[in-house]
Amino acid sequence: MADTLGVAVHGLGWVSTEHIRAYMKNPATQVTALCSRRPDAARRIASEMGLGDVRIVSDYGDLTSDPNVQAISLCSPPNQHPTETIAAAGAGKHVLIEKAAANDLASLRAMAEAVRRSGVRTVVSFVLHWNPEFMWIRSMMDKEAIGKVFYAEVDYWHNIGPQYRQYEWNVKKEIAGSVLLSAGCHAVDALRYLTGDEVVEVAAYSNKINPDYEYDTNLVGILTMASGAIAKVSASFDVQCPYALNIDLLGDKGAIRDNRIFAKEFFAGQTGWMDTPTIRPDSGDVTHHPFEGEVDHFVDCILTGKESHVNLADAVKTHEVCLALDHAAATGKHVRLAELEAVL
């Protein structure tokens, strides 16, 4: 493999500039191509970011056939990701996929199979894995500071209205899928990642306030986990407060509430909540998200040949939970994950 990986970024919306910045900071990568249906906008972005000699294309096929491109970041709308991922994998290109990876189960299965056959490396952009609060919570869980979790809650509350740059397409069910697939999947992913547990069965309810949306924009789900724990996830686009990703983990030896912990056996002599000064996941602005850590991880997986802990195969499990919750909310029925294929 060449000393420098050639990387292409496809889809030049808001999040794409953070992918580009992260690749520019990584010494093992060079952004060699940008793909957009608006070449003039692509050239402007390339100039503003100082990319220099970068290829501008409007046809995605030009990326998958380019021998100077070894990896592609998919920053296109979610409903395009399945065909784009399958094409990239078929061409032997590694893929970083913005979430949602797909909006339906059949597409997820086809993508996963294409990646399995090709052997390319994938990362699905659950970028909060590299947020310092997430990293701190995971380290506390790995040390069993609060013991065995028996109850967990994670909420994704983000007012995605006309002021938000992806609003024009985010309101459309065909493109964005649902409140969970569009963004609330961060809460589902966090539940799985931070507890290390898997969802067995779900029930859910949903509603909406904003009539622009073609799907319900507020959902709450109740879940049972493989360990026997119970959990709650919620997502809201109608919330009238600053962005919040709330995390509550109750264990048999203590508890974590966001960046606070009470674990009197782990911290000898503790008599009250301990606040950990850290960077919290408290903004929906993509410039606040740790894309540099995510991209460095993606590149390391490519160079070393190791699989990511947040590869497509793992992300499929998060998406399955989202689809199960959506179906439960739509039908009023409990959904077992083992029966999801038959239900959908």
Q: Decide: 22 and 295 in contact? Cβ < 8 Å.
A: yes
Res. 2: pLDDT tops 60? no
Residue 73 within any structural domain of the chain: yes
- Of the candidates 113, 98, 40, 31, the one whose C-alpha atom is nearest the C-alpha of residue 68 is 31
Print the domain residue range for 133.
128-289+319-338
- One domain, residues 154 and 181: yes
The number of domains in the chain is 2
Give the model's confidence band at 3: pLDDT under 50 very low, under 70 low, under 90 confident, else very high: confident
- Of the candidates 23, 25, 20, the one whose C-alpha atom is nearest the C-alpha of residue 5 is 23
For residue 184, the cross-strand partners are none
pLDDT at 52: 87
> Distance of CA 151 to CAs 10, 34, 233, 247, Å?
40, 45, 11, 11
Residue 313 within any structural domain of the chain: no
> Distance of CA 340 to CAs 200, 245, 334, Å?
10, 27, 11
Q: Decide: 176 and 203 in contact? Cβ < 8 Å.
A: no
Please write the tens of the pLDDT for every residue from 23-67: 999 999 999 999 999 999 999 999 999 998 899 999 999 999 999
- Phi, then psi, of 202 in degrees rounded to 5: -135, 155
Range 192-231 burial, b when 16+ CB lie within 10 A, else e? bbbbebebebbbbebebeeeebebbbbbbbbbbbeeebeb
Res. 285: pLDDT tops 90? no
- One domain, residues 158 and 247: yes
What percent of the chain is predicted at pLDDT more than 70?
Answer: 99
* Mean pLDDT, range 80-88, rounded to an integer: 98
- One domain, residues 275 and 326: yes
Per-chain mean pLDDT for the chain: 97
Res. 286: pLDDT tops 50? yes
pTM of the model: 0.97
